Amino acid sequence: PTQKPIELLNRIVNSSSSEGDWVLDPFIGSGTTGIVCSALNRKFIGIDNNKEYLDLAIKRFKDKTKKDLLFS
């Protein structure tokens, strides 16, 4: 996956959604979008068909947000 800069995703998520909205990332990769959504009070759904990337995204999300996931 290509890890996107948090500042860029902050701008994208802020300009395209409001607090409490759902954001879908169908190619979660390293999980940066989910981390940004958590910080901006958005609900998030991330999908990936590569288990290795999904495991990486889950680990990064838990490490960066100190939050647990509902499903994985």
- Quote the tokens at residue 8: 């860029």
The reply to whether 71 falls in a domain is: no
User: Which residues, listed in sequence order, are joined to residue 23 by a DSSP beta bridge?
Assistant: 44
Longest dimension (CA), the chain: 31
The reply to whether 21 falls in a domain is: yes
If one counts every other C-beta atom within 10 angstroms of the C-beta of residue 42, the result is 19
What is the count of structural domains for the chain? 1
Give per-residue pLDDT as tens, 22-44.
999 999 999 999 999 999 999 99
The reply to whether 1 falls in a domain is: no
What's the domain range around 28? 6-65
The pLDDT, as a whole number, for residue 44 is: 94
The reply to whether 33 falls in a domain is: yes
22 three-state secondary structure: strand
Dihedral-angle region of residue 3 (phi above 0 means left; psi in -120 to 50 means alpha; beta otherwise):
beta
pTM across the whole model: 0.88
The reply to whether 72 falls in a domain is: no
